[in-house]
Amino acid sequence: MANLKHPKEALFAGEKPFPIIPVCEHFAGSEKLITKALEMQNKMGGLFDITMDCEDGAQTGKEKEHAEMIVRIQNSELNKLKMSGVRIHDYTNPYWKQDVDIVIPGAGNKIAYITIPKPTKASHVSEMISYIQDVAKKSGIQREIPIHVLIETHGALREVDEIAGLPWVQVLDFGLMDFISGHHGAIPDDCMRSPGQFEHAVLRRAKAEVVAVALAHGIVPAHNVTLDLKNPYQTYQDAHRAKYEFGFLRMWSIYPTQIQAIVDAMKPDYSKVQEACEILLKAQEADWGPIQHAGELHDRATYRYFWELVQEAKITGEKLPEEVEKRFFS
C-alpha cells in the first residue's frame, strides 16, 4: 500500500492539472459584510471563496482606506482558511494601481486571487497582470497569484481567447449586468433574471463562448449572480442551469443564503462520485493501467475525469469513502 502512486503523480506528468476550486464565490464589500462572510466560511469548513471588493464596495474618496481595511482583515485571525480574493478597480479607474500597491505588499501571501473587472481589451488585462507580477516580485512574493477576469464588455468577449491565455489566469467570470447594459436596450432588462438570461440568443452565445474558451485553456468558467436575494431555490435553479446546460463550474453569490444553494446545485451526483471512487481505487492498485469495472474498460483517459470528479466532491463537502480519504486526501 505504501508504494501506491497518488493520482496527481500518475495522471498529470507533464500536464497542467485543472484548477479544483470552490464552486461558489461570495462577494462582500464592507468590513461588516466581509467579517460576516469569513465567519460563515470558517463555520462551513471552506465550502466557498470570498471576494473582498475594492471596486463597487469602496466608498468614493475612501479608496485607500478601503484597501487598507482589506489588508488588515486578510492578515487577521479570522482569515483562517486563506480562501479570500480581492477585486480591484478596473483599468480606466485611476485607483487600480493604488489597490495593487496596497494589497499585494500588505497581504500578497494570503490573497487567494485578484479579480480584474470590466476590461475592454486583452492588452489592458495583460498590462494589469504584468503590474501585479512586478509588485509581487518587488515585495518578495514568490508564488503565482491567480487572476480572475470579468468578461462583461463587447471588447472582452471579442478578445476572450487572448485573455484566457494570459499568465496566471485561473478563472473567467461572466458579468451579466454590465454586459446587458452595454447592449443599449437591445437586450431587455428582464434578461437580467431567469429565464431570460438563459434564453436570449445573444446571452446564450456569450455564455457558451466564455465556457468553451475557458475550458479550452484549462481554466474555470464562473457564472453571474442571481438578483433574487430572498429565494434560495431560484439561485439553486440558476446554478443548476448554469452548470448542466452551459458548463459553468462556479457561480457568484451576493447574499449569504445563496451560498448553500449554489454549492448544492453544483456538487457532483453522489452515485457518480461513489462509482468514481471505486474506479480510482482499482486503478491505483493496478498501477494506473487499464482495468474493467462493471463490464466497462477504463484507463488513464477516464481516470483523469473521475479524479477531478472526486476532487470536486471533496471541495463541495460530499462524504467520501474512508479508503479514498486515506489514500488520496490524508
Sorted by where each starts, the structural domains of the chain and their CATH numbers stand as 24-266 (3.20.20.60), 269-329 (no CATH)
- Does this model's pTM top 0.75? My answer is yes
Q: pLDDT averaged over the chain? A: 95
pLDDT (mean) for 190-202: 97
CB 37 within 8 A of CB 22: no
Nearest partner of 158 among 115, 116, 113, 121, judged by Cα:
121
Confidence of residue 16 (pLDDT cuts 50, 70, 90): confident
Helices 31-43, 63-74: axis angle to 10 degrees equals 20
Confidence of residue 14 (pLDDT cuts 50, 70, 90): low
Residues of the chain above pLDDT 90, percent:
93
Nearest partner of 129 among 91, 93, 76, 158, judged by Cα:
91
pLDDT (mean) for 182-186: 96
Asked if the bond preceding 195 is cis, omega within 30° of 0, the reply is yes
pLDDT tens-place string over residues 44-53: 999 999 999 9
pLDDT (mean) for 56-82: 93
pLDDT (mean) for 293-320: 95
pLDDT (mean) for 8-15: 79
CB 235 within 8 A of CB 262: yes
pLDDT at 15 over 80: no
pLDDT at 261 over 70: yes
Report how far apart, in Å, the C-alpha atoms of 229 and of each of 232, 257, 326 are: 7, 8, 39
pLDDT (mean) for 71-94: 97
pLDDT at residue number 138: 97
The dihedral through the CA atoms of 269, 255, 257, 238 has a sign that is negative
Neighbours of 44 (CB within 10 A): 14
pLDDT at residue number 234: 97
Residue 172 forms beta bridges with which residues? 149, 221
pLDDT (mean) for 58-84: 95
pLDDT at residue number 3: 81
> Residue 53: in which H helix or E strand, if any?
strand 49-53
Nearest partner of 51 among 220, 312, 253, 257, judged by Cα:
253
Q: What distance in Å separates the CA atoms of residue 302 and residue 105, rounded to the nearest whole number?
A: 42
pLDDT (mean) for 19-42: 96
pLDDT at 2 over 80: no
**Who contacts 299 (Cβ-Cβ below 8 Å, separation ≥6)?**
289, 290, 291
Higher pLDDT, 60 or 213: 213
pLDDT tens-place string over residues 99-132: 999 999 999 999 999 999 999 999 999 999 999 9
pLDDT at residue number 275: 97
H helix intervals, 108-153: 122-138
The dihedral through the CA atoms of 233, 315, 117, 80 has a sign that is positive
Q: What distance in Å separates the CA atoms of residue 62 and residue 70, rounded to the nearest whole number?
A: 12
